[in-house]
Structure 1
Amino acid sequence: MAGGSQSFQKSKVDGYGFERPEDFDFKSYEEFMASYLSVLARRAQRWKKTVGDQTTDISKSRKIKRFCRKGIPSGIRADVWMVVSGAEQRRMADPELYQRLVDNQLDDTHPVKCAINLDIHRTFPENIHFADTVDANGLRKPLCRVLSAVAKNNTQVGYCQGLNFIVGLLLLIVRDEDKVFWLMDTLINNILPGYYFPDMKALQAEQELVGDVVKWKLPEVAAHMEALGVQWCLVGMKWFICLFADVMPVETVLRIWDCLFFEGTKILHRVALTLVIANKEKILATKTFPEAVDLFRMIVSTPHTQDCHTFMKNIFELTGSFPRSKLDQMREECRKKVK
């Protein structure tokens, strides 16, 4: 795992290039890593025994789904994401597309390109690969190229704030612009259709759905939020728009994405519900609107979310049955409300 080795434990920068805060709890991190490293080693052996070096031959199955839920080894993560998401199949159908889009980029005066350029400097400024002082080998130019290509290939979407954080983290992990482009294009078109349209109605519907899922699973929390006048879009929109990339610990985000690329949007709702379940008593103890909103801002970066392995076990165990048919039916009702 990047960021997990002993050499990084006292470093001011983690293995992904993110600067650690002054109050970073090295003791808790080391305690977590002591157990998690052995988990990673076991998972890597299981993956190797199952798929060997032929990641392109992986077929979606119950076994691979189970493996993705338990974590994809960092060495094959990018390739597995490409296969299980369908991005590799789409890329093979038009392997030169990304290069064509780069060769015919949006003009710098185009409104979409202007919006992208504004956000390039706001993308992970605390990461050494995106910092103002970084040299020509940094990731700002690749970030700009991929975002521009995605916008040019998806004119209905163009550019939406939040995409920069998803592409930025993909670049840190995948390290291949072409693959990052196809993963993003697949997310936008196949996995999260309509999420990033300018009217954001699909994303608003997903926030309505978060509220309905909480009402289904934790009615007392839903009633409390309603009594305080807190709308779910106020607390969950950022979670969903950047797929947790800018709000949760990186290792946890990657484990979420291991499942998202295989299983789709249901994973985002499992994560949101788990955050609510884990903080149920604190939520019920809030007495004002600002207090509740502040709490939701904090619950994504607690020690509970730092322990990614336990957190990912919880999103499947604590949330209980999550039938896709029921979720789809609820989503359709939410879309009608938003329209």
Structure 2
Amino acid sequence: RLRCQKGVPPSLRGRAWQYLSGSKVKLEQNMGKFDELDLLPGDPKWLDVIERDLHRQFPFHEMFVSRGGHGQQDLFRVLKAYTLYRPEEGYCQAQAPIAAVLLMHMPAEQAFWCLVQICEKYLPGYYSEKLEAIQLDGQILFSLLHKVSPVAYKHLSKQKIDPILYMTEWFMCAFSRTLPWSSVLRVWDMFFCEGVKIIFRVGLVLLKHTLGSSDKLKSCQGQYETMERLRALSPKIMQETFLVQEV
């Protein structure tokens, strides 16, 4: 746990995530399953949506920069396989950045089983059609905020800003589309080790340091200004050293 808090060495990160998540065991219990899913055609309804999302994932990363390049192909394979593995769930757009981060650290088959663990063990129900789990966790985050930062809690209540408006992308993408890259990796190290509570803690740190004092609230009096502030978080509070220490 301490190692994960200090940050996993980059050369070991992919393997560490597989061990911590239990995806290595899952793969060993299901040898050949990914290859089997990979060969199936898949449901055209999902394939079209996945295809449209491929170029949006980390477009400046060398792995995903070229249309039809090996990174985008592997991303397609992993996401398609998941829709066949869990046809009742299908595909959710927030799974694409999650799978992309995994593919930067491991081959497609390993990334697939790691994605399965995130969807089923770490964030169960987050990617189902009705988003009930994410709404519930939004309410839990809000009630925790009452303890952590009464000022931020009071402000968001007064502005009638529902948690779903600001925390959906944070939680569903495990901050991969919010934080700077070095912070994403450190948060994921802790997330794989300690679970969803890390996602809650990061969310609370961001809210507290964005809206947690009367000084900070001067520039976001209304609902629109508050939402803008939460969309454009201060780089200082997202910086790796500060954030990890606060979490």
State if a TM-score over 0.5 links the two structures: yes
Q: Indicate which of 46, 58, 64 corresponds to 1:124.
A: 58
The DSSP-based 3-state class of the residue aligned with 2:232 is helix
Q: % of aligned pairs identical?
A: 27
* TM-aligned CA distance change 1:136 to 1:218, over 3 Å: closer
The DSSP-based 3-state class of the residue aligned with 1:195 is coil
1:136 Cα deviation (Å)? 5.7
Cα contact 1:256–1:312 (8 A) shared by 2:
yes
1:220 Cα deviation (Å)? 2.3
Q: Indicate which of 120, 124, 129 corresponds to 1:193.
A: 124
Equivalent residue, structure 2, for 1:265? 196
1:156 Cα deviation (Å)? 2.7
User: How many residue pairs get matched?
Assistant: 244
Pair 1:94 & 2:30 matched: yes
For 1:157 and 1:250, the matched residues in 2 are separated by: 29
Equivalent residue, structure 2, for 1:159? 91
Cα contact 1:221–1:283 (8 A) shared by 2:
no
Equivalent residue, structure 2, for 1:311? 243
Cα deviation, 1:106-145, whole Å, max 9, x if unaligned, reads: 04xx2111111111122222333323xx276441111100
One-letter identity of the residue aligned with 1:74: P
Equivalent residue, structure 1, for 2:182? 251
For 2:216 and 2:30, the matched residues in 1 are separated by: 49
The DSSP-based 3-state class of the residue aligned with 1:76 is helix
For 2:68 and 2:227, the matched residues in 1 are separated by: 40
Cα contact 2:46–2:83 (8 A) shared by 1:
yes
For 2:139 and 2:145, the matched residues in 1 are separated by: 10
One-letter identity of the residue aligned with 2:163: W
For 1:283 and 1:88, the matched residues in 2 are separated by: 45
Cα contact 1:283–1:295 (8 A) shared by 2:
no
Pair 1:114 & 2:45 matched: no
What TM-score do the two structures reach when normalised by structure 2? 0.93
One-letter identity of the residue aligned with 1:284: L
For 1:302 and 1:269, the matched residues in 2 are separated by: 19
Unaligned runs of 5+ in 2: none
Q: Indicate which of 148, 160, 170 corresponds to 1:217.
A: 148
1:186 Cα deviation (Å)? 0.5
For 1:140 and 1:246, the matched residues in 2 are separated by: 17
The DSSP-based 3-state class of the residue aligned with 1:121 is helix
Task: Output aligned runs, 1:1-339, within 5 Å.
Answer: 65-107=1-43, 110-131=44-65, 134=66, 137-174=69-106, 176-279=107-210, 280-281=212-213, 283-285=216-218, 286-299=220-233, 302-306=235-239, 308-315=240-247
Pair member with larger Rg: 1
The DSSP-based 3-state class of the residue aligned with 1:186 is helix
Cα contact 2:27–2:113 (8 A) shared by 1:
yes
More relative contact order, 1 or 2 (CA 8 Å, 6+ apart):
2
For 2:10 and 2:105, the matched residues in 1 are separated by: 8
Cα deviation, 1:158-211, whole Å, max 9, x if unaligned, reads: 10111111111211222x111100110011111111111111100111111111
Cα contact 2:83–2:89 (8 A) shared by 1:
yes
The DSSP-based 3-state class of the residue aligned with 2:105 is helix
For 2:89 and 2:216, the matched residues in 1 are separated by: 35
One-letter identity of the residue aligned with 2:35: Q
